[in-house]
Amino acid sequence: MHFVILELLILVSAALGQSFSGKRNGHALDFTIPTSAATVKVQMLKALTATLPLSLFAAEDPNVATDANTDLIGSAFLLEHSSGRRVMFDIGIRKDTENLAPAILKTFANPDGSFPFKVEKDIPTQLKEGGIELDTIDTVIWSHSHFDHVGDMSLFPNSTNVLAGPGTLKNTQPPFPENPNALNVKTDFEGRNVSEVVFNAPRIAGQAAHDFFGDGTMFLLDLPGHIAGHMGALVRVTTSPTTFILLAGDSNHHIGLVRPNPGVRLLCDHQHDLSEDLQKLGGPDFSDPFITPAPQNKSIHTDAVAATVSLGKVQRFDARADTWVVLSHDGSFAPFLNKTDGIPLFPGSLNDWRKKGLKELTKFAYLKSDNPANIFQSGTETNSSAKDTSESNVVSANNSTSTATTLASATPTSSESSATITNGATADDETSSADDAATNDSTDEGESAGDDEGSSDSEDTADSSE
């Protein structure tokens, strides 16, 4: 009986949106998304692998191996609108890493001098080998200006534009070498049109948004905190049923920060993946993430508080059955990339993720003992045994504080910048949105309750022109 009451409480609190943020004021977030009959084809490219200290992303916790390293991937995305227009969302890291800004090389160098970001084949090469000429890409959207996302723009013709989030230019100019401490290099910008997004679309899930193609197929979303101008992209990938992919960029770096959440719970039948200690911790099910974000003094985010607010927004998208959240660096994807029944890489498409069950497949993969993103590091063990294992794994944990400090101190806070550009409509400012008053979504009931194919919104009631 107690469990029934607990379940009800969880469902009610999730429906009110109160579990994710203290600022919800008791009403659910409006998830109305403008309609469209068109879609965008999303193709994922693997840009890099990296091994970084988990402490950059996660607060200390006896159940999590925060003193160990975690393996990340890096991704880039080719987006093809049904009209034929092609853009990229990020282009990964440059192949010749020795030509990155000296401040980056110094910050991330391992004690043995090696660089923890590895690139097999850069994105421009992968595109060309896949038959995509670079001059057919009209815009490279930067989720943000970090080196592992802006690639080597000099490989693209000058006709390819760059679009970045508000505050990016102020934060990156002048680049190296004019500014010897800059994190970007001159060729990231040279000889091309580099502009900043103006978030002028209706707010999406309480966030400032930009309707990139102008027809409701892709909304760039203000997800501040990581660095000035950090953005995500909500991409419509199928109609009937309507489904989306949220490219969440570096809003967070480990899916264990996102889920479990009240909308995507880890139910009892998954608990065989966990140690007995953790099972006791979770009770009948788990509805909170196992990892909490790192504090400001260790965080990889410029503004850890703003990043935590953005994380809450990503969690609410994750709770939707019609949306698959894809992080730039989700290391838990690694075993599934380009595998049969796994996650197809370019030239494969991610659009039928729901039909293929890719969200289900990857949802709690990071808890598996053999997954590279496992946060317990010793499989299903916890506490001291996890830490024992981690000792030998530490490659560059010594650098974690200096990494965070450098990335944070080199830049003004993102929330300040976006406030200027968006006339005060910062993502934090949910309660001021008129949209919030009219809630018609089914999504805050969570994924377990939101499995209807049409899922939410008013999308089926109106059309938009292309």
Interface positions with Zn ion (CB under 5 A): 148, 250
Smallest Cα–Cα separation from 231: which of 173, 147, 164, 326? 164
What does the alpha-carbon distance between residue 438 and residue 448 come to, in Å, rounded to a whole number?
23
CA angle in degrees (0–180, nearest 5) for 197-408-51:
95
What does the alpha-carbon distance between residue 235 and residue 140 come to, in Å, rounded to a whole number?
15
**At closest approach, how far in Å is the CB of 403 from Zn ion?**
12
Compare residues 35 and 302 and give the one whose CB is closer to Zn ion.
Answer: 302
Smallest Cα–Cα separation from 228: which of 413, 421, 422? 413
Compare residues 32 and 145 and give the one whose CB is closer to Zn ion.
Answer: 145
Write the CA distances from 151 to 5, 378, 432, integer angstroms: 51, 34, 37
**At closest approach, how far in Å is the CB of 261 from Zn ion?**
22
**At closest approach, how far in Å is the CB of 149 from Zn ion?**
6
Q: Which residues of 44-59 are buried (b: 16+ CB within 10 A; e: fewer)?
A: bbbbbbbbbbbbbbbb
At 269, which amino acid appears?
Answer: D
Compare residues 148 and 273 and give the one whose CB is closer to Zn ion.
Answer: 148
With tokens 């989306």, the residue in question is 244
Strands ordered across the beta sheet of 323-327: 201-204, 207-211, 218-222, 231-238, 243-249, 323-327
**At closest approach, how far in Å is the CB of 340 from Zn ion?**
29
Compare residues 148 and 430 and give the one whose CB is closer to Zn ion.
Answer: 148
Q: How far is CA 251 from the centre of its chain?
A: 5
**At closest approach, how far in Å is the CB of 144 from Zn ion?**
8
Compare residues 240 and 402 and give the one whose CB is closer to Zn ion.
Answer: 402
Those residues with Cβ within 8 angstroms of residue 282's Cβ, 6 or more apart along the chain or in another chain: 266, 271, 274
Both tokens of 345, joined, read 């890489």
Compare residues 75 and 323 and give the one whose CB is closer to Zn ion.
Answer: 75
**At closest approach, how far in Å is the CB of 216 from Zn ion?**
28
**At closest approach, how far in Å is the CB of 285 from Zn ion?**
32
With tokens 């469209």, the residue in question is 36
Those residues with Cβ within 8 angstroms of residue 123's Cβ, 6 or more apart along the chain or in another chain: 45, 47, 76, 88, 91, 92, 151
Compare residues 226 and 236 and give the one whose CB is closer to Zn ion.
Answer: 226
Compare residues 248 and 266 and give the one whose CB is closer to Zn ion.
Answer: 248
**At closest approach, how far in Å is the CB of 119 from Zn ion?**
13
**At closest approach, how far in Å is the CB of 425 from Zn ion?**
26
What does the alpha-carbon distance between residue 3 and residue 312 come to, in Å, rounded to a whole number?
26
**At closest approach, how far in Å is the CB of 251 from Zn ion?**
10
Residue 459's φ and ψ, nearest 5 degrees, are -65, -30
**At closest approach, how far in Å is the CB of 243 from Zn ion?**
25
What does the alpha-carbon distance between residue 19 and residue 17 come to, in Å, rounded to a whole number?
6
Q: What secondary structure letter does DSSP report for 298?
A: T
Are 327 and 315 in contact, with CB atoms under 8 Å apart?
no
172 DSSP β-pair partners? none
**At closest approach, how far in Å is the CB of 14 from Zn ion?**
30
What does the alpha-carbon distance between residue 128 and residue 346 come to, in Å, rounded to a whole number?
11
Compare residues 235 and 300 and give the one whose CB is closer to Zn ion.
Answer: 300
Compare residues 29 and 257 and give the one whose CB is closer to Zn ion.
Answer: 257
88 DSSP β-pair partners? 78, 140
What does the alpha-carbon distance between residue 314 and residue 335 come to, in Å, rounded to a whole number?
23
Smallest Cα–Cα separation from 444: which of 19, 4, 85, 6? 19
Compare residues 104 and 127 and give the one whose CB is closer to Zn ion.
Answer: 104
Compare residues 78 and 386 and give the one whose CB is closer to Zn ion.
Answer: 78
